[in-house]
Amino acid sequence: MKKTIFSLFLLFFALCAIAQNAREEIKVNPYLGGDNYTAYQEPTKPLSPTPEGYEVCYFSHYGRHGSRYLIGKSAYDTPVKVLQAAHDAGQLTEKGEDVLKKCIAIRKDAQGRIEELTPLGAQQHRGIARRLSERFPEIFGKDNIVDAKSSTIIRCILSMANEMAELQGRNPNLNIKMDASAHDMYYIIQDDKELQKQRAPRGSEAEKALNAFRKSKFDATRVLNTLFKTEDYWKENVEKPHDFIETILWKVAQDQQSLELRKNFSLLDIFTNDELYNIWLGRNADWYVKYGPSMLNGGTQIYVQRNLIKNIIEETDASLPKLLKDSNARLSVPSAHMRFGHEVVVMPTACFMNLNGAGTIYDSLDDLEKNKWYSYKIFPMASNIQMVFYRPTTPNASVDDVLVKFLLNEEEADVPDLKAVKGPYYKWADVKKYWENKLSKYKE
């Protein structure tokens, strides 16, 4: 009887955890409010068993670089400059003085490492590689070819290198090919300036809606008054004071989770849990509009990385038929295509694929949180989209018989627009047709 009661308690707590909304999740882990600065969360759910009569035969992937330092020297200089000026004027509170010291320490730690991968970022990719080896030994436990390509940005190259080094260390027989060239940047991170212009141009409906939404969610006055002695001072001497808190100082505070200094102190105590949640609401909406399916700018932003979708189709079409027909093809044809880049690719790609409903169109920005459209679940540091292909074990299998499973950040994902064969498994032929039909609707 006691065992039954205990089991019921465990079930209750598990259901409570599942039912948590973003406010509750951010309260438990404030770093989740870091949006695209959120450090990678390792998967917790076991994978579904391989369908009976099938085996893994091919793997395709796109991954973001791991945790990094902030982009641009000013990201570290500006907080120190603003707070130091207030210190010199005798206008910092005790809390403000503490924040200044911490900002100076963070800036010193980042010196000469702007935009670079952090040790945590390297660890994230080694962890992903370890799990790939354990989960899919049919691909990463044999003498297969792994073709890895990276953005030419150093943090992406190092992310790829760490992941490949871990794979190679676990299986010296893998034939790993790595490259990072301008030749491949057209699909690693497509530079579509026309679509970029349409995201939220000045004076547009999209910009007005985002500004109004963010202002309705967060007011920086309390934080400003916590750091500076008088309201008159920050109003007169801090340029765009609300932006200084919501964007500049918040960014330093949240990105600290990617640094080794996270072990020494935190800057997040500047904010209350509700403030962290409300800032996240605004940023979450910003990503939905600028990289998601929002109709505020025509619903076209999910196509901004369409070259990646085309590349996945092309490389799958090149490898898969050969791997099905010839057991020795794996010695000359890649069994895995892996691509390493940025969150601005992961985000629209997940929306285009509609993984877990990421491509759903909502009428109101308030609907995002209600429907669990959470940025930190889509594209944290080291975020990744994995496609695992399964062939029938019967002779003479064709491409039409192949199944595919999607993993978003190593957790099984569904595609609401498609009918699954079973569980998270879809026919590759259906997925390909779905993508090609979708691509045909966008006119260059």
- Burial 221-260, CB ≥16 within 10 A → b, else e: eebbeebbbeeebbeeebeebbebbbbbbbbbbbbbbbbe
The whole-number pLDDT of residue 328 equals 87
β-pairing, 334-341 vs 384-392, is: unpaired
What is the residue whose two structure tokens read 């010839």? 326
pLDDT of residue 396: 85
Model confidence at 410: pLDDT above 50: yes
Q: How far apart are the first and last CA of the chain?
A: 66
Label residue 35 left, alpha or beta by phi (over 0 means left) and psi (-120 to 50 means alpha).
left
DSSP string, 272-290: -HHHHHHHHHHHHHHHHHH
> pLDDT > 90: what percent of the chain?
92
Q: Which band of pLDDT confidence, cut at 50, 70 and 90, is reported for residue 11? A: very low
Helix ranges restricted to H, 143-238: 154-170, 185-188, 193-197, 205-217, 221-227, 231-237
* pLDDT surpasses 90 at 13: no
Buried b (16+ CB within 10 A) or exposed e, 361-386: ebeebeebbeeebbbbbbbbbbbbbb
Sign for the pseudo-dihedral over CA of 336, 339, 343, 344: negative
Given a cut of 50, whether residue 41 has pLDDT beyond it is: yes
**pLDDT for the residue numbered 127:** 98
Q: Which residues contact 41 (CB under 8 A, 6 or more apart)?
A: 380, 409
Q: Is the pLDDT of residue 375 over 60?
A: yes
Query: Length of the chain, please?
Result: 444
∠ CA 80-83-88 to the nearest 5 degrees? Answer: 115
Predicted confidence (pLDDT) at residue 16 exceeds the cutoff of 80: no
Residue 216 confidence (pLDDT): 97
pLDDT at 6: 36
Please, which pLDDT band fits residue 2 given cuts at 50, 70 and 90?
A: very low
pLDDT tens digits, one per residue of 192-222? 999 999 999 999 999 999 999 999 999 999 9
pLDDT confidence bin for 443, thresholds 50/70/90: confident
- Residue 17, pLDDT score: 45
Task: Give the model's pLDDT for residue 199.
Answer: 96
Q: How far is CA 184 from CA 190, 307, 337, in A?
A: 10, 10, 13
Lowest mean pLDDT among 230-234, 325-329, 438-442: 325-329
